[in-house]
Amino acid sequence: MKPKHNGRKGNSSPNGKTEAAAAITQINAPLSLSATLCLGEDCKYNKELRKLQVELAKLQEWIRHEGLRVVAIFEGRDAAGKGGAIKRITEPLNPRICRVVALGTPTEREKSQWYFQRYVTNLPAAGEMVLFDRSWYNRAGVERVMGFCNEAEYQEFMLSCPEFERMLVRSGIKLVKYWFSVSDEEQERRFRERMENVTKRWKLSPMDVESRKHWADYSRAKDEMFAITDTEQAPWYVVNSDNKEAARLNVIRHLLSLFKYKDLTPKPMPLPPITKSKYVRPPIQEQNFIPEIYH
């Protein structure tokens, strides 16, 4: 028996999105989501990224100052660009305020716990933002498709997940869920690039390769997951990620638009002069220096 759909209420638009999903709080004109920009013509990627990262630094200070608790979930197919987007978000931020959680395969002890338990321990405290690089939605995706959970465990997850997320929202957590969508052609191109590039080959696991055989199964699993967990309190936001650079900018811009933040960036502090009169440095030959190969 499938769980009853407890999804979002509201009027649907022609593209299938409800009014609740389309409602986005815009903070100011420079970050308006109404205008579209073409990379390479209207703006340059690095320049636009730098501008948005400055805004992320402002948002970070607002989160700290207001004691907000923010959770952003990044899900999607393998090689869809989740990690690249997360990296660009965290680059300018304080790791003590914004941290990434990327859990591995659960241990035998964790398998015996309540399913959500190991994720709950990683939720943010006041003044923190946590980015989940994959999350509790593993159960509705890879575990469902690859047979790592049984039917009863899957059905229990689908029943529990919407209520679990509503509970998080009621507790005051700001929950944002992103699904990175990539075409099969672009995924194959990125897989081949990872195979050929030694510095990227670690990103490609045997499970990733095996997932190519189950493309349609993953699509059905994603559709079932959205039907139940795309709720008014915790909607899914889909990211078209065939263009990785555009996807990164779009995600950052959208994330910023969800907060009415103010610029509380600390003012530059005066730098006092160094007083060396009472310090004598020990002989330099007593210290171990690394070889200076590069000058």
What the block records as the tokens of 43 is 């703006």
Please give the average per-residue pLDDT across 24-35, as a whole number.
Answer: 47
How confident is residue 32, by pLDDT bands cut at 50, 70 and 90?
Answer: low
Please give the average per-residue pLDDT across 209-225, as a whole number.
Answer: 93
The pTM score is 0.84
119 neighbors 168 (Cβ within 8 angstroms):
no
Report the 3 state secondary structure along 153-185: HHHHHHHHHHHHHHHHHHCCEEEEEEEEECCHH
Tens-digit pLDDT profile for residues 75-119: 999 999 999 999 999 999 999 999 999 999 999 999 999 999 999
Residue 257 clears pLDDT 50, i.e. is over it = yes
Residue 4 clears pLDDT 90, i.e. is over it = no
9 neighbors 232 (Cβ within 8 angstroms):
yes
What the block records as the tokens of 49 is 């990224």
Please give the average per-residue pLDDT across 168-175, as a whole number.
Answer: 98
C-alpha to C-alpha distance for 225 and 178, rounded to whole angstroms? 13
C-alpha to C-alpha distance for 3 and 228, rounded to whole angstroms? 8
Q: What is the pLDDT of residue 16?
A: 41
C-alpha to C-alpha distance for 99 and 131, rounded to whole angstroms? 6
C-alpha to C-alpha distance for 110 and 118, rounded to whole angstroms? 7
How confident is residue 35, by pLDDT bands cut at 50, 70 and 90?
Answer: low
**DSSP string covering the chain, please?**
-PPP-----SPBPTTS-BHHHH------GGG-SSS---BTTTB-HHHHHHHHHHHHHHHHHHHHHHT-EEEEEEEESTTSSHHHHHHHHHTTS-TTTEEEE---SPPHHHHTS-TTHHHHTT---TTEEEEEES-GGGTTTHHHHHTSS-HHHHHHHHHHHHHHHHHHHHTTEEEEEEEEE--HHHHHHHHHHHHH-TTTGGG--HHHHHHGGGHHHHHHHHHHHHHHH--SSS-EEEEE-SSHHHHHHHHHHHHHHT------PPPPPP-PPP--TT--PPPGGGS-PPP----
C-alpha to C-alpha distance for 57 and 55, rounded to whole angstroms? 5
What the block records as the tokens of 221 is 């699993």
146 neighbors 205 (Cβ within 8 angstroms):
no
Asked which of 155-159, 167-171, 174-178, 268-272 is least confident by mean pLDDT, the reply is 268-272
* Residues 6 or more apart whose Cβ sits within 8 Å of residue 93: 56, 57, 60, 129
**Arithmetic mean of pLDDT over the chain:** 88
